[in-house]
Amino acid sequence: MALMTGKEYIESLRKLDIKVYMFGERVENFVDHPIIRPSINSVAMTYQLAHEAEYEDLMTATSNLTGEKVNRFTHLHQNTDDLRKKVKMLRLLGQKTATCFQRCVGMDSFNAVYSTTYEIDQKYNTNYHENFANYLKYVQENDLVVDGAMTDPKGNRGLAPSKQEDPDLFLHIVEEREDGIVVRGAKAHQTGSINSHEHLIMPTIAMREGDEAYAVSFAINTDAEGIFMIYGRQSCDTRKMEENVDVDLGNKNFGGQEALVVFDDVFIPNERIFLKGEIEFAGMLVERFAGYHRQSYGGCKVGVGDVLIGAAALAAEYNGAQKASHIKDKLIEMTHLNETLYCCGIACSAEGYPTAAGNYQIDLLLANVCKQNVTRFPYEITRLAEDIAGGLMVTMPSEKDFKSPELGPICEKYFSGVDGVPTENRMRVLRLIENMTLGTAAVGYRTESMHGAGSPQAQRIMISRQSNTEHKKELAKAICGINKIAQKELLEV
């Protein structure tokens, strides 16, 4: 099958019997639901740009599995150039959608599972790697969206998976059959899960003895029997269901999406199992996926940041404050912070290295530094954008007030900005900033910057592990003379 277009992707979702619940009721037509559709449009952009000659080099690649042209979101990184192009691709998509386009988690899980299954097979003579390679060929040939699902509800964070009072708080195997396994549990905060053709499941933490049933990785089609989803609420989400609110939406066409994915005794055939009880490899899979996904934030959040910086600059211009020195300084600071995030994404890519399986892994230390910065810098960028925008961003009347025969002229009069700029333009850009910092796009920028790809503490733990402090101590010993042999070597040089 050739690369799908955005329209073909949307039509492909209509063929799936995905069970989605929102506000306590089953959503019969999720594709056209006003709250869900903007997130589908965001994913569709990952397809559409792949057909534009200007972006072909970023959006597509040659598969090492089939030799065919594939969407980069289904590709296994073959060198550091692939890793850098990934980051640039994500920045581009952030610029085009100003929100989360949801396909990164699948790409990051592909690369983590591919290398990890290879090493499991090397030790245990299993056939997980062959299973996964065949599965990924299927994904590439059909140009599918796959939700990489890692996060479990977790229950009592102080207890291991097998020690929880309710065993279902971590997804686990409840039955082993000759032809496969049956699993039960859930995956939480799942980005783009409803918009995905498939789910690729991974464990959420490193496992210990006794947790074998929880050390499981597999793939399953999204509309498989026993799977259903509960859509996550976002601030201001019901605005999309109102009439005549084009201005109030800020970002009308695009949005993010999160859901709880429930597995109610779901059967997984043997050929789609990639980990089953090998507890010592659960941690490896988690760390590799987390590293790739933390790299991703050096691209996607930067692209969204580009839009927010542009919106803040427009707001200043429409307010007549663009020449003020403090406004210029704030825009400079926003740009500095945004480009620093991008530097980290490019750096961990440039320092990538091949795994035993042959695909490329990013530098884990630099990837975690990248994501640690993402937990901070977008918050400051957001603060500065809100500062520049002014209080009207959160106090302005609705579009219906502006269009009211009685109230409209009053709103136009008192909410106008500089001469020559339509009041509606000013309202639109302020609503965009509101949407990106407080509203339905916040899940794709501000809040997700904190908790996406793991909490800030998760990155700090990895930074500690990767920091090689002992080596740094030896450097200090050599310089100050504690290590006489090393100092002698330095002097001889």
Q: Which residues are catalytic?
A: 100, 104, 191, 258, 293, 297, 300, 448
Tokens describing residue 127: 């056939």
Say which amino acid occupies 130: E
Q: Which of 334, 290, 230, 274 is nearest to 132 (CA)?
A: 274
Question: For the purposes of burial, counting CB atoms within 10 Å of the CB of 16, is it exposed (0-12), middle (13-18) or buried (19 or more)?
Answer: middle
CA atoms within 13 A on the CB side of 93: 35
Tokens describing residue 359: 């695909």
Bridge partners of 190?
Answer: 259
377 in Cβ contact with 338 (< 8 Å): yes
Residue recorded with tokens 């750096």: 347
Q: Which of 21, 32, 18, 453 is nearest to 260 (CA)?
A: 21
205 in Cβ contact with 282 (< 8 Å): yes
Measured CA to CA in angstroms, residue 129 lies from 104, 217, 290, 359 at distances of 21, 12, 20, 13
180 in Cβ contact with 240 (< 8 Å): no
Tokens describing residue 6: 């955005």
How far is Cα 363 from Cα 302, in angstroms, rounded to an integer?
19
DSSP assignment of 52-96 equals -GGGHHHHEEE-TTTSSEEEGGGPPP-SHHHHHHHHHHHHHHHHH
Instruction: Give Dmax (Cα) for the chain.
Output: 88
Residue recorded with tokens 């800030």: 456
Q: Which of 450, 459, 302, 457 is nearest to 376 (CA)?
A: 450
308 in Cβ contact with 436 (< 8 Å): yes
Bridge partners of 187?
Answer: 261
66 is in an annotated binding site: no
Tokens describing residue 210: 């006794």
Residue 420 φ/ψ region, left for φ over 0, alpha for ψ in the -120 to 50 degree band, beta for the rest: left
| Number of CB atoms found within 10 A of residue 207's CB | 26
| Backbone φ and ψ of 276, nearest 5° | -150, 80
How far is Cα 36 from Cα 16, in angstroms, rounded to an integer?
15
3-state secondary structure of 266: strand
Q: Kind of pairing, strands 180-191 and 198-201?
A: unpaired
- Binding-site positions read 191
- Binding-site positions for FAD read 191
